[in-house]
Structure 1
Amino acid sequence: MKSFFALALLLWSFSGLSQNLSSQELLDNAIKYHDPNGNWEHFNDTFTVVMTMPKAAKRTSSISINLPAEYFSVTSTKDSVTTTYALNKDKCTLTYNGKVLDSLKAKDKNMTCDRATLYKNYYSYLYGLPMKLKDEGTNLGKVEKRTFKGKTYLVLKVTYDEAVGSDVWYFYFNPKTYAMEIYQFFKTDEHGKEKPDSGEYIMLSEETLLNGIKIPKVRAWYYNKADKYLGTDTLVED
C-alpha cells in the first residue's frame, strides 16, 4: 500500500509539473522536441508544398530558405502560370513563366518586391515554428490547459510588439511530447481586444525531417468562425 501511494504521488508530481510550466519552459521543451540540435539558426534547404482548396486549382510551390546566406525564393505553379519571387540579401528578382521582369512588366503582372518580402516572412515564420517564437518583439503570455476538439493541450498565448504585428496567437502543444499540433490566431480591434469571430486555426498532422528539424507535413486551415474549411498545405517529400 505504501508503494502504491508513493507511485501515485510521483505520477501526480509529473502531471502537476506539465500543467505548471512557465511560458519559457513550455517553449523550450517544444523547441527541444522539434529542433533538438539547434539547426533552425543555420537552416538551408529547399522543399515543396502543395496547396489544395475547395473549388480551386492546386498550387505547387518550391521554397528555398537559406538563413546564413540571407536568401529566399518561392517558385509557384498554378494552372499554366509559374512565378518566382527571390530575395538575395537586398536584391529582389521577379520572374514570370521563366522570364525575369523589369519593374514595369512586374507591375503589369501584379508582382512586387514587397510581396516577395511578405512571402519570405510568411514561409520563414510558419516553417520556423516554434523556434521563431524566440524572435525579438515576441511576447510570451501565460500557459493554460485547454481542450480543443476533444483533445487536451498545453496552450501558449503569444502577442507581438506593435511594430511586428497586432494579431493574438495561441500555440497548442501535446502535454506529453510537447509537439506543436495546432496554432490559432485572432485579429484585434482598435483597443487591442480579440475579435472572437476573426482569424483562423491550423491543424497540424504527420511529421517529416527537414534539416534535422521535425516539421509538420500537413497543415489544414479553418476559419475560427463556424469552423469553415479553407484549404490544406502538404509538404511533399522528393
Structure 2
Amino acid sequence: MKKIFLLLLVILGVSCKNESKKEVSKETIAKVEKENFPIELGKVFDAHGGIKEWRKMKTLSFNKEEEVHTSDLHSREIVINSPKYSLGFDGKEIWSLEEVKGSLKRDASFYYNLYFYFYAMPFVLADNGITYQKVDDFVFEGIKYPGYKISYKANVGTSPDDNYIVYYNAKTYQMEWLAYTVTFRSKAPVDNYKMIRYNSWENVSGFILPKQITWYAKDKNNEFVATSKIVDFELPLISQAKLANSFFQKLKK
C-alpha cells in the first residue's frame, strides 16, 4: 500500500490535463517517415495521441481488478501490487512476493508485463527491434480492418518469437483488434493467434487508452464470437514524472 500511495503523490505532483485528440498533420507524417514503422501505423499512433507525445511520458499506471500495475515507460521496470501478492521487474530481475501464501497463481516471468503490453497498445508497437509486415484485412461483420504484423528481432525480450497483428479502423485509424501469439513456454514460433477486441477507449491526459478489452474465439461455424473473458482497466494515470528505481524493487517482509 505504501507504494500505491507514493505513486499517487508523484503523479498528482505533476500537472496533467485531458486534451482532445489531435488530427494528423503533415509535419507529424513527415516525422513518421523517418521512423522505422509504416506511415499507416504512424497515423494509428496519432489517432491515439501521438508517438512524439507518448515518448515524453515516463510513468504509466492502471488498475486491473485488485491489481495496481505501474510501469516506467523508458526502462520498462514494472511492479504489480495487490492486497495478497506483488511482483515485478526491477531492471535486473523478475521477482514476486506473497502476502498471503499460495495467492500468486501466475508465473511471474510470464505475467509481470502481460497486461502492460495489452494496455499500452498501440504505442508499444513502436519499440526498437521490431519489424513490420502488411497483412490481409481482417473482416468482421462485413467490415474490413487493415492490419500490420509485428515481429521481433532475435533476443529481443523474453519471448522474441511472439507476433502481434494490429488491426485498425480504415477511416479513423483507431485501433480495433489485436491478434497475438504466445510462445513463452514453447520458445518456438506458432501460428495459433488469439484475438482481442478493443471495444472501449477513454481519453487519459490526451492519450486514447483502452478501458475494456474482450477476447474472441471461433465458433463451430468458424466465425469469431465474444468469449466470457473481459478485462476492465480502471484508474489510469500517465505522467512525465519519473518514479525512483526503489519503487520497482522487491519489498522486504
TM-score w.r.t. length of structure 1:
0.65
- Structure with greater strand percent: 1
1:16-59 deviation line (CA, Å, top 9, x unaligned):
xxxxxxx7011100011113263433231321123xxxxxxxxx
Percent sequence identity over matched residues? Answer: 21
- Residue 79 of structure 2 aligns to which amino acid in structure 1? S
Q: How does 1:3-14 map to 2 (within 5 A)?
A: none
Distance 1:222 1:137 in 2: 29
- Structure with greater helix percent: 1
Q: Unaligned 5+ residue runs, structure 2?
A: 1-36, 237-253
Q: Return the match for 1:126 from 118, 128, 135.
A: 118
Name the counterpart of 1:72.
78
1:179/1:86 CA distance change after superposition, 3 Å? same
Q: How does 1:110-149 map to 2 (within 5 A)?
A: 115-149=107-141
Distance 1:163 1:69 in 2: 17
| Structure 1 residue 170, shift from structure 2 partner | 1.8
Q: How many residues align?
A: 191
Q: Return the match for 1:46 from 49, 58, 61.
A: 61
Indicate the SS of the match to 2:113.
Answer: helix
User: Is the contact made by 1:45 and 1:65 (CA closer than 8 Å) also made in structure 2?
Assistant: yes
Indicate the SS of the match to 2:52.
Answer: coil
Q: How does 1:1-238 map to 2 (within 5 A)?
A: 24-36=38-50, 38-41=52-55, 42-50=57-65, 60-68=66-74, 71-76=77-82, 82-90=84-92, 94-97=96-99, 115-164=107-156, 165-186=160-181, 195=191, 198-224=192-218, 227=224, 229=227, 231-237=229-235
| Structure 1 residue 111, shift from structure 2 partner | 7.9
- Residue 47 of structure 2 aligns to which amino acid in structure 1? Y
| Structure 1 residue 92, shift from structure 2 partner | 5.6
1:82-132 deviation line (CA, Å, top 9, x unaligned):
11113333366533227xxxxxx8xx87789xx545334323322222221
- Higher RCO by CA contacts (8 Å cutoff, separation 6 or greater): 2
1:135/1:94 CA distance change after superposition, 3 Å? same
Distance 1:96 1:220 in 2: 29
User: Is the contact made by 1:157 and 1:168 (CA closer than 8 Å) also made in structure 2?
Assistant: yes
Range with greater deviation from structure 2 (151-160 or 200-209): 151-160
Distance 1:205 1:190 in 2: 31
Look at both structures and tell me which one has the larger radius of gyration over its CA atoms. 1
1:92/1:25 CA distance change after superposition, 3 Å? closer
RMSD of aligned residue pairs (Cα, Å):
3.5
- Residue 80 of structure 2 aligns to which amino acid in structure 1? V
Q: Unaligned 5+ residue runs, structure 1?
A: 1-22, 51-59, 99-104
User: Is the contact made by 2:168 and 2:174 (CA closer than 8 Å) also made in structure 1?
Assistant: yes
TM-score w.r.t. length of structure 2:
0.61
| Structure 1 residue 225, shift from structure 2 partner | 6.8
Indicate the SS of the match to 2:233.
Answer: strand
- Residue 138 of structure 1 aligns to which amino acid in structure 2? I
Distance 1:222 1:169 in 2: 15
